[in-house]
Amino acid sequence: MLSNDPTQNPHLANWTKVFVNYCDGSSYASDVLEPVVVGSQTIYYRGAYILDAIFTELFVKQGFAASSTLLVAGCSAGGLASYIHVDSICSRVKSLNPNIRCLGAPGAGFFMGEAAPFSGNGYLANYEWVFSQMNISTHTNDACIKNHTLGDKALWKCYIAPEVLPFIATPIFVSNSLTDSWQSGNIMGISCNPSKPNGCTAAQVQYFSSFRDNMISALAPVTAQGSKHGGFLQGCFVHVVEDVGQWTTVLINGKTQSDTFWSWFTNDGVAPLQIGSFPPWSNPTC
């Protein structure tokens, strides 16, 4: 998606791109002014201030608000950042330029934080801890937060994509693996590799299949008939879904992720959503 080579990125190669490194541990949502001392380290949870500074630099000082189109994209933790910040970023930039077309493209950030793991403790406690300790509540999707009552113990869920997705007003293109290799080890509690026949036990394969079904269900706002959203939901056993190989070589129903995105972006009548098959080894382009 970021490549300037038209053979690798035929539709977006000539776009102006700004890559922002990830650094705050909370997808740019943390808001703790006082530094936190852990052993000999001093840690700062100030991601929301970093994001605000980035916005001011790009859209106020550098004049990017005069663009015709803004695509808020990211991968992994950056993908989660796209889910939770896309509405606020688009709202702010439209206050500077009401005519700008603002869209989102979260990649590999649809973490199923509440999923019951195959083994281990899962990842839920980590999201709850980050939400609480890094003071996330005022810097995630505002509509999601307003849907909860004050003091609601489930408020932390507004820090995970499945909870935020139904509240996103901005059209987004979701790129994700339905057999996400990062989620395999960290959320599912599975260490085997399902990308080869007999790579996992029958029970593990069944768990992967159920996890995939649950992810598709959670993506209902994207997969619903007539949705303003689009997506490329591949079945490959990968995490990063927007590098050169994944962007232009993996096929679902003969369509690349690049071309599926462009069909969604241009509304050319071609299917703006592709869902890959299971198991991962059933797709030879993975």
For 152-185, the pLDDT digits (tens) are 888 999 999 999 999 999 999 999 999 999 999 9
- Provide the token pair at 231: 């997506």
Task: Say if 9 falls within a structural domain.
Answer: no
Classify strands 173-177 and 230-234 as parallel, antiparallel or unpaired: parallel
Please tell me the pTM assigned to this model: 0.96
pLDDT tier, 150 (very low <50, low <70, confident <90, very high otherwise): low
Does residue 186 contact residue 113 with C-beta atoms inside 8 Å?
no
Mean pLDDT of the 29-49 span: 94
Contacts of 283 (CB under 8 A, 6+ apart): 234, 235, 236, 250, 251, 252, 276, 277
Quickly state the pLDDT bin for 244 (edges 50, 70, 90).
confident
Q: What's the domain range around 150?
A: 32-282
Tokens of 40: 């000999």
41-72 residue pLDDT tens: 999 999 999 999 999 999 999 999 999 999 99
* Residue 153: predicted pLDDT: 81
Q: Give the pair of three-digit tokens for residue 174.
A: 């979701």
- Cα distances (Å, whole numbers) of residue 264 to 72, 221, 229, 259: 15, 15, 8, 9
Task: Classify residue 197: in a domain, yes or no.
Answer: yes
240 domain-assigned: yes
**Hey, what amino acid is at 48?**
A
The answer to whether residue 16 sits within a structural domain is no
- Number of structural domains in the chain: 1
Q: Does residue 18 fall inside a structural domain?
A: no
Of the listed ranges 34-38, 161-165, 222-226, the one predicted with least confidence: 34-38
> Does a structural domain hold residue 10?
no
Distance, CA of 114 to CA of 21 (rounded, Å):
27
Q: What single-letter amino acid sits at 178?
A: L
